[in-house]
Amino acid sequence: MANAKENKAEGTRGSKPSVMPVIIPVLLLTLIAGGGGFAVATMVGPNVATAPQAEVAASDGDHVSKPEEGAVGNERGTNTGIIRQLAPIVTNLASPKDVWMRIEVSIVIKPEAKAEQDLIAVRSSDQILALLRTIDLAQIEGPSGFLHFREDVNDLVRESSEHKVAQVLINSMVVE
């Protein structure tokens, strides 16, 4: 009997479970995850070193050339277009008749058409209004319907402006 009591006492007094086998893999995985995150951030993130170099390359003496206000440029700072906000367009759709749509659109006009941007803006607004009056609600429902609608608007405005509009940007669209 004394022997059984000694065995019980040894079993409870035995070695405690060690925390080290858990801590070491956790630290190792944390270091691997941190290194992987840093590697992905350097590959995908913005290249901070190119911004000052581009500014120095574009400067001549003390003057730094910048694109015009309201102009869109690419990474090298060259002027690729003028953004023109159109007046909001409100109209009813073709079907159902009691459904109304309000759309706010901006167009990106190519720099060579700067002189006629007012005429292009009015013509584009009229073309979009005419398109909206022929659309059924079912045509623009869902993500794919919206994408098709956006492409239709882009194609229509580009063709009507004789390709002087680079892109049509839909700022907001409300159907009620």
Its sign, for the CA torsion 47, 51, 53, 57, is positive
**Is the confidence at residue 15, as pLDDT, over 80?**
no
pLDDT tens for 112-159 read 988 999 999 999 999 999 999 999 999 999 999 999 999 999 999 999
Minimal CA–CA distance to 91: which of 152, 155, 134? 134
**What is the mean pLDDT of the segment spanning 15-28?**
86
Confidence band for 72, pLDDT divided at 50, 70 and 90: low
Q: At what angle do helices 142-160 and 117-132 cross, to 10 degrees?
A: 140
Using DSSP, state whether 154 is helix, strand or coil.
helix
Rounded Cα gap, residues 130 and 150, in angstroms: 15
Q: Which helix (H) or strand (E) holds 81?
A: strand 79-85
**Is the confidence at residue 8, as pLDDT, over 70?**
no
Tokens of 14: 């035995």
**Is the confidence at residue 37, as pLDDT, over 50?**
yes
